[in-house]
Chain A
Amino acid sequence: MTSKSDQTMMLRTPFHNRVAAACELNAWGTWKGYTTPTAYTDVELEYFAIRSTTGVFDLSPMNKYRITGPDAEACLNRMVTRDVSKIRVGRVGYTVWCNDAGQVMDDGTIFHLGENDYRICAFARAIDWLHWCALGFDVTIVDESDEVAALAVQGPTSCAVLLAMGLAGLEQLKPFGLTTFPFEGATLTVSRTGFTGDLGYELWIAPDRAEALWDRLFEAGKPHIIKPFGSDALDLARIEAGFLQAGVDFVPAESAVRNGRSRSPFELGLGWLVDMDKPVFNGRRALRREQAEGSRYRFAMLDVDGNKPAQHSFILKGANKVGTVTSAAWCPTAKSNVAFAQIEMPHGAVGDELVAEIYYQRELQWTRVLAPCKVIDAPVFNPPRRRAVPPGSF
């Protein structure tokens, strides 16, 4: 960063001029020091752009780190729980990483851009941790958070939009695939990734081409019904798709002050990301112990009766409190009332019938309902188009 820190309180993303022009509500939030919209025009309509047409989200503030060098794979393999050697060039992998106590520090995606060349996208800032993990490895680590602008292009017509923009052959890209296109003298990287659970792509570009990318995208997208969306609509979509949000559904381990507030991958329902066959990785010993001795908590996706979102609810088994809700929403496409909860073991197995203690307000009067809920085994929204190759045009 070149500017002195007292020049501005909030930074602007490379798309800011376009975002600000579209953000009719002036509903601004903050994301890692950047000013970003929570909503542009209407949260519901933005959400439905994601689910019915195409929605565009500026994810430039995302932390992005480049790891290069002969030991890049070994270094990442040491850091994260997944086997990085299985993420081939041109592929993206979702993973978590833990501290030595086997507690999740963050989740993110690893982009295998080329031979000995990776990018890792993370919710929390990770440069310090990356340097610690790189001890003894021949790698170069660069924080390129500000050097890469990014847009998520999500929804059933997103492939049609990008094809119309001239990204020929994109329909053959598989989920978690990665490819590049020349774009106005620069390289546009496109990955078939996203945080909405729908068909979707993420576009990565140098900041000086950001506005041009936005303009081309929205021009090509018009006949396919394209609309920008803010973080509120994204939150609704990711809950419906069953995605955890770091800082919301778990406390990044190294930022937890109180003992016992962090969670292991097993306790977040992310055990499938842990490859115990790997001989060495951060937290392995602790996770092995947890496997032997049992976890303290279980992540549960709940289907809650009624239509009152179970935000901040206690979860009861009989008269006892056995858990708390971390995220909850009425999901408009799945027509389901979904909640994510942290449940004390041994409760919360799939099929377990629990009760959500929900408080809600109508015209200043608070009401409490005890809504029966059931632990479900899969997200309520998971359309075939998310995996289809080639995806349809809508």
Chain B
Amino acid sequence: MAPVACSGRAVGCLARGLQAEPALKKYDAIVIGAGHNGLTNAAYLAKSGLDVAVLERNDYIGGATVSRELYPGWTYSNCSYVCSLLRPELARDLELPRHGLQVVPYGGGVTFKRDGDYYGNYYDHNRQYREMARHSKRDANAYERYATDVMKQTRLIRPYLLRRPPDPTSLKLRDLRDLLGFARSFTEMGEEGLADTLKFWTKSVGDYLNEYFETDVIKAHLGGTGVIGTALGVYSPGTAYVLLHHYMGDVDGNVGSWGFARGGMGAVAGALAKSFQAFGGEIICGADVDRIMVSHGKVKGVALRDGTEYRANIVVSNLDPKRTFLDVMDESDLPEDVVRKAKNFKIRGSSGKLNIALDGLPTFNGLDQNSPLMLGDMHFTDSLERLERAYDDWKEGTWSKDPYVDMLIPSQTDPTMAPPGKHMMTVFVQYAPPRINGGEWTDADKAGFEKSVIDQIAAYSPDFRDLILHCETRTPREIEAEVGLTEGNIFQGELTFDQLLFNRPFPGYAQYRGPVRGMYMCGSGTHPGGGVMAAPGANAAREILMDLRRPDVVPGGYADD
């Protein structure tokens, strides 16, 4: 497939504003969705010299990496709110710092207990040991073993983030070579290491943590990340991997560290967009894609709901697999098994979000306002049992009455989020089902959900309620409607082993190529999954460029060793 120059006639048509005749501008490639992966993918295609357009349904870009000012003077990271997995190789290569991105690490975290005490997960290891030992000396010591074991698993998986997953059924040389490398990494782990790996990928986070720790609050603090964004409970098999997924990122080489994108997560998308535009790319907002046009098994372009058509021989979908195959593609253009697999794809909504403008810094029971723990992630669920019960509500078709929250006050670290002395709070909430008792979320349901979260925070912070100036509440209904994530699933599909690596999104289509020639996928629904990594977008670009027989401009991953 050779790249095609854009048609001059189409430009003329647009200039004359001939609405009746659909625009015929032809691009080399069109990316649907200006999320961070769509923009990354487009940036690499444009860097390679292709004429690329990104079509975005909203009037603003970013998808789930978005910042908006909904209350004057306050910036919210409306969806994703912290950053760790964004690959430094891509940030450097696409010159994202020059385009305005800065990721500032934050430290630590805290889980408040119902008895008035708390567990402080200090950033500093010595202090963290001492704090753990306050609850259990044995746990404090076991944590060292736990940290080593988790690091072994991140070391195994990190080299595969910026690579396409090898197809185990393929006899192609590249796949065989990749598989061999994969096998070698596994063999190096040894028999015990391999057993650990399988355990990690299949076990529940609860069972995994029970092997190391005896203290409820410590297990609850560490276990929360095992269910974030996942419609599973801490005792559901497969959740240990979700925990690993949250550990495998890094900030400047500090594996497991998390940071804030200065100015909000929209800074990630903003910098990617500028990088893309610096390579000559074009972003078209307000472009609501109706369908990917296919003819004779080949992609021809996309048609918008307003009738506008954009032609391209390559169309890349940043949408989740369900939206891609069941919404913007016509069933008759697809193999029957793809439609079935897309229907069966697990992308269950499990979470909601509150973004709150605060008139000052709230105080929390038993915690000094100057404590470094205030700077980290805060939680109010002090046992795995409560986490599991929060999941019970989801299964019952309602939001958790005792929700698990991952709450941060980024304005203590980032001076751009709120006026001096004022604060912005981001509250990730689990669980919130995609539908309430089988029906749509109503405004009353949304108010109930919001109340359960605010009540919980207020139970630990006496002045919190009085400091609230504005609150944006997002249930799966809003996340799906505004961001386009099916059921409001933040990862574009659950991160369980059956949907990872060569099974993501489904077997046979895990190397970013769709079932139709010229059609590709680049969203978090592909390997290595969600979490604002930008790796799926970059990996997909590499495959596209390979198919076009163009030089690879996508960097490989840094080696940890």
Contacts and interface: CB of A to CB of B under 8 A. Distances in A.
Contact of A44 (B91, B105, B420, B421): B105
Given A52-B262, A223-B420, A225-B415, A45 B253 contact: no
B533 to A, nearest CB: 15
Nearest to B155: A362
Interface string B102-130: 10110100000000000000011000000
A335 interface: yes
Given A42-B107, A53-B415, A335 B561 contact: no
A225 B252 contact: no
A225 B561 contact: no
Nearest to B414: A52
A52 B415 contact: yes
Most buried by A among B96, B97, B105: B97
Most buried by B among A156, A225, A307, A367: A307
Contact of B558 (A45, A306, A332, A367): A306
B58 interface: no
A307 B102 contact: no
Contact of B97 (A223, A224, A307, A333): A333
Interface in B44-88: 88
Interface string B247-271: 0000111100000001000000000
Given A224-B415, A225-B415, A48 B420 contact: no
A51 B559 CA distance: 27
A157 interface: yes
A156 to B, nearest CB: 7
A370 B524 CA distance: 34
A160 interface: yes
A362 B561 contact: yes
B413 interface: yes
Interface residue range, chain B: 20 to 34
A340 interface: no
A41 interface: yes
A377 to B, nearest CB: 14
A336 interface: yes
A394 interface: yes
A118 B542 CA distance: 60
B408 to A, nearest CB: 15
A307 B253 contact: yes
Interface in A222-263: 223-225
Contacts of A306: 558-559
Interface string B404-434: 0000000011111000110000000000000
B420 A307 contact: no
B256 to A, nearest CB: 13
Contacts of A157: 415
Contact of A394 (B96, B252, B253, B415): B415
Nearest to B370: A222
A299 interface: no
Given A224-B415, A394-B415, A52 B92 contact: no
Interface string B292-312: 000000000000000000000
A65 interface: no
Contacts of B413: 52-53, 225
B416 A45 contact: no
A388 interface: no
Contacts of B420: 160, 164, 223-224, 393
A307 B251 CA distance: 12
Given A223-B421, A335-B96, A44 B561 contact: no
A164 B372 CA distance: 24
Contact of A307 (B123, B124, B412, B558): B558
Contact of B124 (A41, A225, A394): A41
Contact of A330 (B97, B102, B252, B262): B252
A333 B103 CA distance: 7
B412 A51 contact: no
B254 A44 contact: yes
Interface string A52-76: 1100000000000000000000000
A157 B419 CA distance: 12
Interface residues of A, number: 28
A334 interface: yes
A107 to B, nearest CB: 27
Most buried by B among A41, A45, A224, A225: A45
Nearest to B123: A42
A225 B123 contact: no
Contacts of B560: 362
A44 B415 contact: no
Most buried by B among A48, A164, A225, A335: A335
A225 B412 contact: yes
A52 B105 contact: no
Given A156-B415, A157-B415, A224-B415, A45 B561 contact: no
Interface string A340-382: 0000000000000000000000100001000000000000010
Contacts of A223: 420-421
Contact of B88 (A51, A53, A160, A335): A335
A394 B416 contact: yes
A330 B253 contact: yes
A351 B190 CA distance: 45
A189 to B, nearest CB: 26
Contacts of B252: 44, 330, 332
Given A306-B558, A307-B253, A367-B561, A335 B97 contact: yes
Contacts of B254: 44
Nearest to A54: B415
A335 to B, nearest CB: 4
B547 to A, nearest CB: 27
Given A42-B124, A44-B252, A52 B104 contact: yes
A52 B102 contact: yes
Given A42-B124, A225-B415, A48 B253 contact: no
Nearest to B95: A335
Nearest to B418: A223
Contacts of B414: 52
Contacts of B262: 52
A157 B96 CA distance: 22
Nearest to A307: B558
B362 to A, nearest CB: 15
Contacts of A393: 415, 420
B29 to A, nearest CB: 26
A335 B92 CA distance: 5
A334 B123 CA distance: 24
A367 B124 CA distance: 28
Contacts of A41: 124, 372
A158 to B, nearest CB: 11
Nearest to A225: B415
A321 B340 CA distance: 61
B158 to A, nearest CB: 12
A381 B421 CA distance: 29
Contacts of B92: 335-336
A224 B252 CA distance: 24
Contacts of A332: 251-252
A330 B420 CA distance: 31
Contact of B102 (A42, A44, A51, A336): A51
- Give 8 nearest A-B pairs by CB, closest first: A223-B420, A223-B421, A394-B415, A335-B92, A332-B252, A307-B558, A48-B104, A52-B104
Given A45-B107, A160-B420, A394-B416, 4 more contacts: A53-B413, A224-B420, A225-B415, A335-B88
22 contacts: A41-B372, A44-B254, A45-B123, A52-B262, A52-B413, A52-B415, A53-B413, A160-B420, A164-B420, A223-B421, A224-B420, A225-B415, A306-B558, A307-B558, A332-B251, A332-B252, A335-B88, A336-B92, A336-B97, A362-B560, A381-B97, A394-B415
